[in-house]
Amino acid sequence: MTVAALSAAEAPLQASPRAVSRRRAVRRFKLSLLAPLIALFAFVLMPVLLLQLYFSVHQWTVYLGSWWDADYIGLDLFKEVLTDPRFGWAVLRSLAFATGSTVGCFVFGFLLAYLMHKPFRGQAIYYIIFILPMLTVPVVVAYTAEMMLYQSGPLNDVITRLSGIEFKPSWLSDPHLALMTVSLLEIWNWTPFSFIIMLAGLTAIPKEPIEAAEILGASKWRIFWEVQVPLLRPVILLALVLRFLEAMAEFPKTWSLFQGGPGSATETLPVYIFMTTWQYFEISKGAAMSYIVMLLMIVIVLFAIRLLRREKRSLDKMYEQTDSPKVEA
């Protein structure tokens, strides 16, 4: 078969006769990609947010009749919530819990990641063991804790045997310890998160700057603080920010294990909102509270997003993602 034969043989397959207007087609295509998101917003998220607004300015509980003719009471509920000391304590508890557990996760996660970032024998096994806590259903974590933490339970027993000193804190019933217990559980549960993020960050750091520093005679300590930590800044912030936000929302463990008790020692924001709404059935107060928390969280999240946007850019640079040309912007 020669080239000439082919060229002579057939007429070119010409442009299809039904030539679509490109601009219209692109617009339609973009819209159909976005349609599910728009639908979700319109039919799920918007009604819910509107209802929440409605309930936070109307007085209604389930004992009253139909919710649509509840009394309008303006901002009274917001005033009530903001002057409620229990709410103030819940905010503080949540912040303390989130901060404490985030720092804990980060410190342990980073330490483990640093010890693991160079290959060694058994690395894969350690990696698998280390991520297991993260792959445990949060409710299961709570029940496991219950089985292990009662006063004469295995944890205290193990520590007593190992140290030889009587060790009998009541993790579950001492109001001074309860919030710490949940924080420790959160740390146990989510250190793997910080660990995998930091490990991914550490292994992605280019080797050259570290080797260059080594040749220039820098100690491990100096290299860590002056080369690795600055290069890791985006990853570090990412690990802290995401963990903090997740911890602010923590509910399954706190609720399953303590239901806010003992006393009100573990009454974090999610728990308090849940109790107000589903135990005292003060739907309206719950809604007002939710609204305030939502606004608070939006402020925190917007701040977090600003951080993340900046850090994502430096991360993308680190992965040397060359800008692929975008079509039809």
The residue among 265 and 271 lying less far from other proteins, judged by its C-beta, is 271
Neighbouring CB atoms inside 10 A of 7's CB total 9
The residue among 137 and 216 lying less far from other proteins, judged by its C-beta, is 137
Asked if residue 248 lies in contact with residue 183, where contact means CB atoms within 8 angstroms, the answer is no
By CB under 8 A, the residues from 72 to 131 that bind other proteins are 108, 111-112, 115-116, 120, 122, 126-131
Instruction: Find the binder of other proteins among 138, 209, 261, 262 (CB under 8 A).
Output: 138
| Number of residues counted as binding other proteins (CB under 8 A) | 122
Distance of CA 17 to the CA centre of its chain: 52
Asked if residue 177 lies in contact with residue 170, where contact means CB atoms within 8 angstroms, the answer is yes
Answer yes or no whether residue 180 interacts with other proteins by CB under 8 A: no
Least Å distance, CB 244 to other proteins, is 10
Nearest 10 degrees: CA dihedral of 18, 21, 24, 25?
Answer: 50
| Rounded Cα distance, 248 and 240, in Å | 12
Answer yes or no whether residue 29 interacts with other proteins by CB under 8 A: yes
Distance of CA 274 to the CA centre of its chain: 20
By CB under 8 A, the residues from 193 to 252 that bind other proteins are 193, 196-197, 199-201, 203-204, 235, 238-239, 242, 245, 248-249, 251-252
Instruction: Find the binder of other proteins among 42, 49, 92, 229 (CB under 8 A).
Output: 49
The residue among 26 and 75 lying less far from other proteins, judged by its C-beta, is 26
Q: For residue 58, give the 3-state DSSP assignment.
A: strand
Instruction: Find the binder of other proteins among 74, 152, 164, 207 (CB under 8 A).
Output: 152
The residue among 13 and 216 lying less far from other proteins, judged by its C-beta, is 13
Answer yes or no whether residue 59 interacts with other proteins by CB under 8 A: no
Instruction: Find the binder of other proteins among 37, 42, 75, 212 (CB under 8 A).
Output: 37
| Rounded Cα distance, 74 and 223, in Å | 59
Longest dimension (CA), the chain: 97
Least Å distance, CB 50 to other proteins, is 8
Least Å distance, CB 85 to other proteins, is 20
Question: Which helix (H) or strand (E) covers residue 120, if one does?
Answer: none
| Rounded Cα distance, 262 and 152, in Å | 18
Asked if residue 56 lies in contact with residue 263, where contact means CB atoms within 8 angstroms, the answer is no
Answer yes or no whether residue 42 interacts with other proteins by CB under 8 A: no
| Rounded Cα distance, 329 and 318, in Å | 25
Answer yes or no whether residue 274 interacts with other proteins by CB under 8 A: yes
Least Å distance, CB 2 to other proteins, is 8
Answer yes or no whether residue 305 interacts with other proteins by CB under 8 A: yes
